[in-house]
Amino acid sequence: MHGMQSKSVYKVPDGKLLKIFLDYNEKNDSINNIRITGDFFAYPEKGVEIIEKELEGEIIDKKRLMKKITEVVKKHGIEFIGLNIEGLAEGIVLCKHE
């Protein structure tokens, strides 16, 4: 299921440089596949892979993404340093515009 391939580079305010690689369905703006990369920190590290998996199928909309990421972060006790939920959602949304 290959869709639109996109990438964003986003400096998180007071944080690190986030680089997102996104494959999404242009018809309904849903995420096929996402790679969250950058020089941030996350504890536990596996949390980022969980977020990537959980975001598959989600619609690229900042509010909806923030809600979803918040749920996953709470459920798995994930802690970011140099990144935050809003910054992550913003980085994903930027993929659509670039």
Which element (helix H / strand E) includes 49?
A: helix 46-55
Look-up of token digits 């504890």: 43
Q: Which among 54, 60, 52 has a CA at the least distance from the CA of 93?
A: 60
Q: Which among 12, 10, 2 has a CA at the least distance from the CA of 82?
A: 12
By CB under 8 A, tell whether 87 contacts other proteins. no
Helix and strand counts by DSSP (H, E) for the chain? 3, 5
By CB under 8 A, tell whether 77 contacts other proteins. no
The minimum distance between CB 74 and other proteins, in angstroms, equals 18
The minimum distance between CB 28 and other proteins, in angstroms, equals 27
Q: Kindly write out the interface string for residues 37-76 of this chain, putting x where it contacts other proteins by CB under 8 A and - elsewhere.
A: xxxxxxxxx--x----------------------------
By CB under 8 A, tell whether 9 contacts other proteins. yes
Which residues bind to other proteins, rule: CB under 8 A? 9, 16, 19, 21, 35-45, 48, 79, 81-82
